[in-house]
Copies of this chain bind each other. A is one copy, B any other.
Amino acid sequence: MIDLTYVPRDEFERVLSLDVDAARKTALFADLCRVNVLYMVTRAGSGHLGTSFSCLDIVSSLYVNELQDGDVCFSSKGHDAPAFYAVLMALGRIPFDRIHTLRRLDGLPGHPDVSTPSIETNTGSLGMGVSKAKGMLLANRLCGRRGRVFVITGDGELQEGQFWESLPSAANHGLADLTVIVDYNKIQSDTWVSRVSDLGNLDAKLASFGWHVVRVDGHDAAAIAAALHDMAPVTDRPKIVIADTVKGRGVSFMEGTALDPGDRLYRFHSGAPDDEQYVRAATELVDRIDAALASIGSGALQLESSPRPARRVPAQPQKLVAAYSRALVDQARRNPRIVAFDADLALDTGLLPFEAAFPDRFVECGIAEQDMVSQAGGAALKGLLPIVHSFACFLSDRPNEQIFNNATERTKIIYVGSLAGVVPGGPGHSHQAVRDIAVLSAVPGLVLIEPCCEREVELALAYCVDESTDNAYLRLVSVPWEIPFELPREYRLQYGRGVRLAAGGDGVMFAYGPVLVAEAIEAAARLRERHGLSLSVINLPWLNRIDREWFASVVRDTPAIFTLDNHFVDGGQGDMLLRTLAELCLPPRRPRSIVRRFGVAGIPRCGTNDEVLRAHGLDAESLCDVIASALHAQVTA
């Protein structure tokens, strides 16, 4: 186990009180913040180093030199939250001890949330920043307040339609108090922006929308200050600063410029460094800071440290995305009509092998989900079988109308949403897909399926490609997950039917996906062990289809029914099961049967996976407790 080091608050005060010019001081301040970003992300085990490092000179410049009372500053891209936290803690605007709480329950969320002091708006889903800023300026105007709004965007983010949608009215209304700063680091999640969906001549584009555009070196605090100063007299137009930056700036081996232009994959967008990388990065940062301090006659940095937390690594987890990745390539070899669409998540959605095998049949759309889904619609009309990929949260709702539009054309399209469900809990509510079943439930002719293990992934994809006449949405948990069960050897997907994985006469639990089927199995074991209660556990991968006869046979004689949704409790599979139960009008076996849904209620919590499952009562222990009390109450009633 290694120690992780961070810069304490008083060291920031020392740096800020140094008698050097503002630009030098700001650069130093930003590097101190980099040390703390590195600490936070490494400690959390995940986070976005590359984008936090690239924007740190900009964010530091704003907070140290530019912002005045009444001004507002926020990140539209949102995954640079650690950079904002580092700066805000350094300035005493967020309590400093939260530095140890990134991505923990009640700590600093993976993406910005207004529950954190000085965080002005929730982001993480891209493209909303300029719109939010316009609303804030409207409120300022109507309430007679003064104040400017500064919005930091990414460059990959500019592929999102809402960004362009939001530009014209700011120009038409002459919102001179609005300044957008593009952290133009040239690399989006995995690779070069120009490879994904080239932005073209960005200066010309933005100017053509009536904005005042300037371009600066985004790592030069003096240049940033000068640009902001020079723009101040422009009082009839909103302003945009294109700040040329380097992704991963500050740690040489993480810098985008260290990536060969021919390389497909930038490795420091998300995730956390390993021990060796951490030590190398921290050493480089601290050495540079100490050299700078020495050159102005100030002493070396006094760091504090804390051991890197141990992480539970599952021994033999199920990796659904990897299984999907293999199954897709197999299917595509057999079926030349298959084309795959991606929205800048080729690594995370398992598409790299497909891209390598079928480069002509791989369409990288960039962060442009609406465009992607409608492209798939056009391709399907002309004879292809499009398979459309993104994170479940982004795929199901932003292009929701486009998915419906495609459905009304009665073509066949398969949608694959990964990162489904409430875990991983670290990224927070912008990334936790817990509304996708609900938002897709009323699309005609769209079947929703969630497999619980690698084997079921293959079966589900085969069903979608070969058997289904409906459109399909395949919902995939991305977190590798250990499962204490195995599907029966002879198991086959049967439309609307599930499979019993544990038997018991005291009640039945319905679940789907690796996470909640595993928790259900474990809960059943604890219920048996501790309370002598025996519950059936059914894996039901069909989220919006039910074979009523099969269902009636499963629930007819059970005194208690529990549904488990890795989704909001409203609008999930449980709703389908309960409405079917009501429609069946089965006579209950005992006068007081129990029917209860488990699922996410309220806004999904951010934290470790264990913390989040527990917070929403979806872990085995909570399930065991609640079910035991319910059944006990039933018996004693």
Interface residue ranges, A against B (CB under 8 Å): 113-114, 120-123, 125, 127-128, 130-140, 142-143, 159-166, 168-169, 171-172, 197-201, 204-205, 207-210, 339, 360-361, 363, 365-366, 368, 370-384, 386, 393-394, 397-398, 400-402, 404-405, 407-410, 429-430, 434-435, 437-439, 441-445, 544, 561, 567-568, 570-572, 574-576, 578-579, 581-583, 585, 587-588, 591-597, 601-603
Once bound together, how far apart are the Cα atoms of A594 and B207, in whole Å? 64
Once bound together, how far apart are the Cα atoms of A326 and B568, in whole Å? 36
> Given A142-B339, A398-B401: A172 and B198 within 8 A (CB)?
yes
A394 — which chain B residues lie within 8 A by C-beta?
401
The 8 Å CB contact of A597, one of B121, B142, B571, B579, is: B579
Once bound together, how far apart are the Cα atoms of A122 and B199, in whole Å? 29
Taking the nearest CB of chain B, how far is it from the CB of A554, in angstroms? 14
Once bound together, how far apart are the Cα atoms of A587 and B585, in whole Å? 10
When the two chains form their complex, are residues B159 and A162 in contact, meaning their CB atoms are under 8 A apart? no
> Given A571-B442, A594-B585: A122 and B382 within 8 A (CB)?
no
Taking the nearest CB of chain B, how far is it from the CB of A167, in angstroms? 9
When the two chains form their complex, are residues B408 and A378 in contact, meaning their CB atoms are under 8 A apart? no
Once bound together, how far apart are the Cα atoms of A498 and B165, in whole Å? 41
| Residue with the highest number of chain B CB atoms closer than 10 Å, among A382, A409, A603 | A382
- Closest residue of chain B to A145 (Cβ to Cβ) is B382
Once bound together, how far apart are the Cα atoms of A574 and B583, in whole Å? 11
As for how many copies of this chain the complex holds, the number is 2
Taking the nearest CB of chain B, how far is it from the CB of A412, in angstroms? 13
A120-B381, A571-B571 provided; 16 other pairs, C-beta below 8 A? Answer: A127-B370, A134-B378, A135-B384, A159-B165, A161-B370, A162-B371, A166-B374, A168-B197, A168-B200, A169-B197, A204-B208, A410-B603, A442-B570, A444-B603, A578-B582, A582-B595
When the two chains form their complex, are residues A438 and B442 in contact, meaning their CB atoms are under 8 A apart? yes
A365 — which chain B residues lie within 8 A by C-beta?
169
- Closest residue of chain B to A565 (Cβ to Cβ) is B442
When the two chains form their complex, are residues B166 and A371 in contact, meaning their CB atoms are under 8 A apart? yes
When the two chains form their complex, are residues B397 and A401 in contact, meaning their CB atoms are under 8 A apart? yes
Once bound together, how far apart are the Cα atoms of A166 and B402, in whole Å? 13
When the two chains form their complex, are residues A571 and B379 in contact, meaning their CB atoms are under 8 A apart? no
When the two chains form their complex, are residues A121 and B409 in contact, meaning their CB atoms are under 8 A apart? yes
26 A-B pairs (CB sep. < 8 Å): A114-B409, A121-B381, A125-B405, A128-B377, A128-B405, A131-B370, A135-B386, A138-B384, A143-B382, A143-B384, A171-B200, A172-B198, A200-B210, A398-B400, A400-B400, A408-B603, A410-B603, A435-B442, A438-B441, A439-B439, A439-B442, A570-B576, A579-B579, A581-B582, A585-B593, A585-B594
Once bound together, how far apart are the Cα atoms of A602 and B445, in whole Å? 7
When the two chains form their complex, are residues A122 and B169 in contact, meaning their CB atoms are under 8 A apart? no
When the two chains form their complex, are residues B587 and A579 in contact, meaning their CB atoms are under 8 A apart? no
A371 — which chain B residues lie within 8 A by C-beta?
130-131, 134, 162, 165-166, 169
When the two chains form their complex, are residues A140 and B208 in contact, meaning their CB atoms are under 8 A apart? no
When the two chains form their complex, are residues B165 and A379 in contact, meaning their CB atoms are under 8 A apart? no
Once bound together, how far apart are the Cα atoms of A430 and B410, in whole Å? 14
A361 — which chain B residues lie within 8 A by C-beta?
142
A161 — which chain B residues lie within 8 A by C-beta?
127, 160-166, 370
Once bound together, how far apart are the Cα atoms of A384 and B169, in whole Å? 19
When the two chains form their complex, are residues A205 and B200 in contact, meaning their CB atoms are under 8 A apart? no
A125 — which chain B residues lie within 8 A by C-beta?
401, 405
- Closest residue of chain B to A132 (Cβ to Cβ) is B378
A200 — which chain B residues lie within 8 A by C-beta?
168, 171-172, 208-210
When the two chains form their complex, are residues B400 and A131 in contact, meaning their CB atoms are under 8 A apart? no
Once bound together, how far apart are the Cα atoms of A165 and B164, in whole Å? 8
A430 — which chain B residues lie within 8 A by C-beta?
405, 408
